[in-house]
Amino acid sequence: MIRTLLSIPLLALTAMPLSSEGDCDRAYVLFMDSVGSAPVADGKRLADFHRRALRIFYACDSGHMQKPEIVFQQLQEEVGRSL
């Protein structure tokens, strides 16, 4: 009986989604707006930037990244260098 009572809060904590303190949605949208307005000559390169941005977003959304703005800024600088 005690084991059951102790396992219920543990189950509730593991079932709740992790969230980060960073604003994942806003950082992703700002990055995509800036990339959308930048001309990229190679379609494969543009797809690579989109995939990497999604990986950053998913890592942030799952709680594995606290400051996505910094990583998106680094990716933005790489987009600027590829022009």
The per-residue pLDDT string of the chain (83 residues; one tens digit each, 9 = 90 and over) reads 666 655 666 555 554 444 445 589 999 999 998 887 777 668 888 889 999 999 999 999 999 988 899 999 999 998 888 76
Domain boundaries, the chain: 18-81
Q: What is d(CA 52, CA 54) in angstroms, rounded to the nearest whole number?
A: 5
Collapse the DSSP code of 41 into the 3-class scheme (helix H, G, I; strand E, B; otherwise coil) and give the result.
coil
Alpha-carbon torsion 27, 32, 37, 81, what sign?
A: positive
pTM over 0.85, yes/no? no
Are 68 and 27 in contact, with CB atoms under 8 Å apart?
yes
pLDDT the model gives residue 82: 76
Length of the chain: 83
